[in-house]
Chain A
């Protein structure tokens, strides 16, 4: 039995705000056997509720939390560049918009932990081994963005959003989540939960001791995000004394995660907390689970923050404080006009790794939920180019966001329209244009280009193929000189490990073919070039010469070849090696 939505157009107690009638949050289906976690405070009531839960027959349960033979290794994955991550929004992951409209309505199925399990095999099949789950906490209803509220505006960090509950499952939502995690683990997929950086307005009202205030007493709001308020990580910044209440709440959060079986945390806007805060919290988590992984949403070094009321970004500080990996700057890959900028960025990261403890990495943040669909940068060809880059760049854990694999443009026909079905104090279907919807109950993230998934799968298969795995995850990075390519659009580098070399050649230009001569010392003219990646788009022509390859690359094409140059690292080229964990 599926958990079909049964929205009520107008709820029992409409809230009047000016001329607008706003509906209160949708209630659970009447078919639900019991009500759970509905905010009961009376002990007797809670006792009865639990008894009720226990008494319900275990029927129609999609999944149960069962012990499995799983050991968290997410941190090791990050350290070895072995995590292949998919970002998902639980609110729409398993949703089905049977009615065809993009906002979920009666007759549609909203996302729950249970129906999300159906997607896991798909991810597994693509080559994904880690899920990044966007926040799954109850959402604040005041000053909210969107009709469901932003998933980054939690009203309680230590609870699970009841909206994700399957009404037909007698377990409470937390258990359902635990069940979902188990299903992930069964498939070898690690789970990384997103830790929001700020509080909803509701939480701000409830826990003022956690919050940051301006000198005039108004709460601090991060620029551009009026639905959330900032925490104050400091008790006394000048003495660098941390806010003990906030630290406690985060420790409780870590406890909850570990209790649920979560393998790591993706920290939203990690710069919102200071180095010392993360230092303590991350160590706290490792005390309980040494393999507990931490991913920082941190992009690049900032002298000062360009965002109002927000700290500056310092990835190196974050990594130094214990984070295993960070977001990096690949989300502006499309803005880099020249191939050399890509190489420079890789070089910069590898050099940074030597200033840090071994094993720090970056993720392939080419398109996250904060970015517009990368389909906008050049369609299928561009996305495939990114897939190729994700699979071959060093020090990188490939990262995709749900919808990537099918080319979703993240366009919503309800964008910024009014809707009477709302569970927040806003009736505006707020979305960020061309970005995944995190504000409303809306369609799953599926596009119209399954061929992208095929190519992505192909690239990840190559990456995980034992023949190439070590080369692509541990191998050195050797930038190759490209001649006769005036526009500097050809990305060419070699990855080398234990005498084996992979040659990566890509055309960064998705609008025109690019020709050039790639200098590869020791390359023999008899070298055969077999593309390990699937063919797509325009044809490329390559001609091997002694110590070089003449190329004419199709628009946005990426190629991977194994070449026989065992001594390439000693041929006088720049050789960059990541500071890897032993």
Chain B
């Protein structure tokens, strides 16, 4: 007491000295100055400016770290930066490697959701509940006196609880139920806040490892659904833009190179004529542009055209010989020697030339003409060489003379090639490709496929066990389900739902169809140029009404096949339902009888074959199914079965169902019916004209046999059809499988998430509670006050 009084007296004595601008309390005592560190206001996300500032600091820290001058804090920040930079690096790499826009986006969505989950998990699950319950913000940030951003409770040995404002401290104390009369209450509150923060940090560390990836996976799943449509549409537009992008620059560059190439050939031999070697070299140069546009097989035809040019324009006939050698053969004796050879179509131009060389080397007049005074000293081979040159100069076109037309032709075909490459990308992105099976149509097919399976009510009415059976491809189960549907009064509703889906899908397919207009005009344009330059062989194999195996036809056929196969998966369900319905109402038996035209046709065999085909065939192996397993049909039986399956007039079930629908307009109903019929017709056409000769070569497609391998992938129907035109069991199985897996993993991850959430929230309830030590300390403190 005395001491306190003394100090007050002392203070009073010194007041005059202390009356300056310094911090004093009302008693004149000096108080500690304000902290230089500052608490940051709580926020969910940092501002962009802060992010940039942080990044700047991190870059600065890297510099320091490289010089070995970074401290613990700076190296600690580098760890965070490393995590972010590494994640961005991996995402960027995958972004570049991934061909699809959606997948590209998802790489960064994954990164963002992961980092976001890491940030949000502690905030939502621990920080917010803890703060609400105890007032302690264990993720409270502050800026230290050096301007560095840190967490207040990051290091339990280095906590700046002094930064907490009075009201905050009181709030924590009140929420944590700290006795208001406790001696040294502030310290007690700080200790408990520090302990609570330590516990919260521990809980965070214990759960974040599981929670962040699971939360990220669930978020990705959600975001993917949203992004899918927009990405597909963006991809669609982009490929369209790519298809029509200008090609002039590339074409000119290539043409310039070709021009230079020809110029060098001519420079070596200014009077060189179009020789066999030239045909090969120049043909190969053109081959390069053909190959780059998946038209490589045109190279041989182009060389053929070059050969024709060399041969046809150099015809060595009587007229030619008289024109060149007439004045040296006044009596026609020498001509008589070569007459037979010249006029015979058996001999090649080269043979004819050699004959002329040998014959006219005997002409002294010619020798004098060629060598003048030295004629007598000229050796035989020198004479022959001179004569050969004279013939070639007069007969065969020189490279110089055809250079301009070759360069112009090259320019046109290079333009075709560039455009074709662009259009390839455009078409493949829509319709799919062997090496790049992900396409717009495949993606839509998958999406509509899921809707289709939903319409089969696997999801809502089937139990998980049934869904499991469907995903396992239990054929009997699937058939039974469909048969049940046929018998039920829900048939019309289901079929109309299917038809709506099919109709929507058909619109997508139409949107992707590029065979009827626009881009494929490049084939016609290239043909015109080729024909104008008399490169008819090449033109005929590029595009022609006469030739089936043209590049154009193969190309077009590939696109059509894809569309057909994609639609087939859906229409097959309608076909199967119609088929079952016709069995049920007995109309099928009558139809088979009519089709058998008195022949003894085994109805059961036909029915089994049709069922098998509808269930277990892809578009491309119909015929194998027909002719081989599981039933070996005769040609007559095949014809009957084909009629059963593809009779365009047999649309009874569909018409009945559509007639019961109240939402479709009559026009829509009509369109749906016509589309169905058209599909049947197309499929039948695809399989071949069974009235004449059954095609048995679907897999190899003779139409492509003579094509270059480089374009065969666009003909490899089976692989593509396996993507889009799946057999019914596979179609249902895979859609069900996807649904089952989505359901299962969603349940699994949701379960983990729910468990983690429950655990974290429950554990959070124990954070900040009074332990034995705290209770004892509080008790002792109260006792000392009472004493």
Contacts and interface: CB of A to CB of B under 8 A. Distances in A.
Interface of A: 215-216, 234, 236-238, 240, 244, 247-248, 251, 274-276, 278-280, 283-284, 286-287, 301-306, 308, 312, 314, 316-317, 320-322, 337, 356-357
A337 to B, nearest CB: 7
B450 interface: no
B29 A280 contact: yes
B11 interface: yes
Given A236-B184, A237-B184, A320 B22 contact: yes
Contact of B30 (A215, A306, A308, A322): A322
Nearest to B169: A238
Interface string B514-546: 000000000000000000000000000000000
A215 B780 CA distance: 10
B14 A283 contact: yes
A287 B160 CA distance: 35
B778 to A, nearest CB: 9
Contact of A301 (B23, B145, B158, B191): B145
Cβ-closest 6 pairs across A and B:
A238-B186, A279-B30, A303-B37, A215-B777, A280-B7, A304-B160
Nearest to B35: A303
A302 B185 CA distance: 24
Contacts of A287: 10, 13-14
Nearest to B160: A304
B187 interface: yes
A428 B22 CA distance: 49
B36 interface: yes
Given A244-B3, A284-B6, A320 B69 contact: no
Contacts of A337: 69
Contact of A279 (B4, B29, B144): B29
Interface string B375-404: 000000000000000000000000000000
Report the interface size class on chain B. Answer: 35 or more
B301 to A, nearest CB: 71
Nearest to A287: B10
Contacts of A280: 7, 10-11, 29
Contacts of A216: 773, 777
B30 A236 contact: no
A104 B37 CA distance: 49
A287 B4 CA distance: 15
B31 A237 contact: no
7 contacts: A215-B773, A215-B776, A236-B183, A238-B187, A279-B29, A280-B7, A317-B32
Most buried by B among A240, A283, A312, A321: A283
A215 B777 CA distance: 6
Contacts of A322: 30
Interface string B768-787: 00000110110000000000
Given A247-B3, A248-B3, 6 more contacts: A234-B184, A237-B184, A237-B187, A274-B32, A275-B31, A316-B33
A286 B22 contact: no
Given A280-B7, A301-B36, A317-B32, A215 B23 contact: no
Nearest to A308: B157
Contacts of A279: 29-30
A411 to B, nearest CB: 28
A299 to B, nearest CB: 13
A251 B9 CA distance: 14
Contacts of B31: 240, 275-276
B191 to A, nearest CB: 6
A224 to B, nearest CB: 12
B20 interface: yes
Contacts of B754: none
Nearest to A245: B3
Contacts of A275: 30-32
Nearest to A305: B158
B159 interface: yes
Interface in B277-333: none
Contacts of B145: 301-303
A317 B3 CA distance: 23
A303 B33 CA distance: 12
Contact of B29 (A248, A276, A306): A276
Nearest to B161: A304
A316 B183 CA distance: 29
B294 to A, nearest CB: 61
A244 B31 CA distance: 18
